[in-house]
């Protein structure tokens, strides 16, 4: 498909290809829908196999951000930026300042924050060229606050899923497999340990697993290739997307899939098959919405404590999604999408009301 055909298929408004000759910075900014407000989405840096793979990631992730904001009752649209490069070798001040200038050129249509492969240091360089950076948890001075809020939101979503599946929201005694213990996964492990859950962890980086096990000695470490064969109550993907596929879904030995990773499923077909098998898949764009609660309705910074309090709302959002799933007899991810689209359509109709007449020079 051509880019325009892909945009039409997925409902995107704008796709921007950016290239800086001096730093060889290559970026794609995808803006999916701005009905509710400016497109908000992270900037991730990854050494994609091809331009097609980078574009696919930008398109699918920006659409998920639209659904996430709509379901979470936020006044933002969906966007995503991907930087095509190796985050270990290609970063520089000039690289991110060039990217910041491209963002600034969009005139506020896209607002970003750190994602996979980028961090606060990268954002500082971007912020020197544009104000269009989300003001998440300013003034706390704490590192990793975004991961903490996201992980807490996942925890709250897990509790709602447990209530639906097991009849009680408690995670005490439940076995949880965490795939990926980076910033969010490791924070989630700490929360689950406090809830007295049994932990099984895995990551392609051994040191990341060892850091978690040093804090939580009871956490069991398994090899990445064995992660799908673990007996557990909850499987929690917290790394890359697309990890649950047609070929490996039958290996899962869980009742719930609930994690911080975006686009966990290879395709919608997998989600429907999981639903038929009786495995509750918590829609990723619902359960990972914690970071959206780090800013007020008008993208004003709030404290970490306030962000965590707001992230508790994910429990109630998940309950509504699961109720709608039962009522409509569809998989939860389809129910959540429908709820998101309904809100966008309803608010979009209201926004046809003119509030500030243009100056026409009469």
- Which residues form the catalytic set? 80
Torsion region of 24: left, alpha or beta (phi above 0 gives left; psi -120 to 50 gives alpha): left
Q: Are 328 and 336 in contact (CB under 8 A)?
A: no
Q: Which two tokens stand for residue 96?
A: 């991110």
Max CA separation in the chain (angstroms): 75
- Name the residue among 181, 173, 219 with its Cα closest to residue 200: 219
Residues in the chain: 362
- Name the residue among 315, 357, 353 with its Cα closest to residue 155: 315
Q: Which two tokens stand for residue 63?
A: 């659409």
CA distance 98 to 20: 7
CA distance 329 to 318: 16
Alpha helix positions (H), 217-303: 268-277, 284-287
Q: Are 243 and 212 in contact (CB under 8 A)?
A: no
Q: Are 311 and 152 in contact (CB under 8 A)?
A: yes
Q: Are 57 and 46 in contact (CB under 8 A)?
A: yes
- Beta partners for 281? 257
């Amino acid at each position: 498909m051509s880019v325009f055909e892909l945009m039409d298929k997925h409902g995107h408004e704008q796709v921007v290809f950016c290239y800086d000759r001096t730093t060889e910075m290559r970026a794609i900014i995808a803006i999916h829908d701005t009905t509710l407000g400016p497109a908000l989405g992270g900037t991730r840096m990854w050494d994609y196999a091809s331009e097609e793979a980078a574009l696919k990631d930008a398109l699918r992730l920006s659409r998920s951000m639209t659904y996430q904001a709509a379901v979470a009752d936020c006044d933002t649209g969906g966007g995503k930026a991907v930087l095509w490069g190796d985050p270990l070798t290609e970063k520089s001040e000039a690289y991110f300042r060039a990217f910041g200038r491209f963002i600034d050129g969009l005139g506020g249509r896209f607002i970003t924050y750190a994602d996979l492969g980028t961090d606060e240091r990268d954002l500082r360089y971007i912020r020197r060229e544009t104000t269009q950076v989300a003001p998440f948890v300013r003034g706390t001075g704490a590192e990793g606050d975004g991961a903490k809020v996201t992980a807490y939101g996942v925890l709250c979503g897990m509790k709602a899923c447990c209530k639906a599946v097991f009849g009680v929201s408690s995670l005490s005694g439940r076995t949880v497999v965490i795939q990926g213990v980076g910033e969010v996964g490791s924070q989630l492990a700490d929360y689950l340990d406090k809830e007295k859950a049994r932990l099984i962890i895995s990551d392609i980086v051994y040191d990341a697993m060892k850091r978690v096990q040093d804090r939580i000695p009871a956490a069991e470490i398994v090899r990445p290739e064995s992660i799908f064969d673990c007996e557990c109550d909850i499987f929690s993907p917290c790394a890359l997307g697309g990890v649950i596929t047609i070929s490996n879904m039958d290996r899962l030995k869980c009742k719930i899939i609930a994690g911080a990773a975006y686009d966990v499923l290879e395709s919608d077909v997998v989600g429907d098959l999981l639903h038929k098998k009786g495995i509750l898949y918590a829609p990723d764009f619902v359960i990972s919405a914690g970071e959206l609660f780090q800013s007020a309705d008008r993208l004003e910074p709030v404290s970490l404590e306030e962000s965590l309090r707001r992230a508790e709302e994910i429990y109630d959002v998940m309950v509504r999604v699961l109720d709608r799933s039962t009522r409509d007899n569809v998989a939860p991810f389809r129910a959540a999408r429908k709820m998101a689209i309904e809100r966008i359509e309803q608010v979009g109709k209201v926004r046809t009301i003119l509030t500030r007449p243009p100056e026409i020079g009469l």
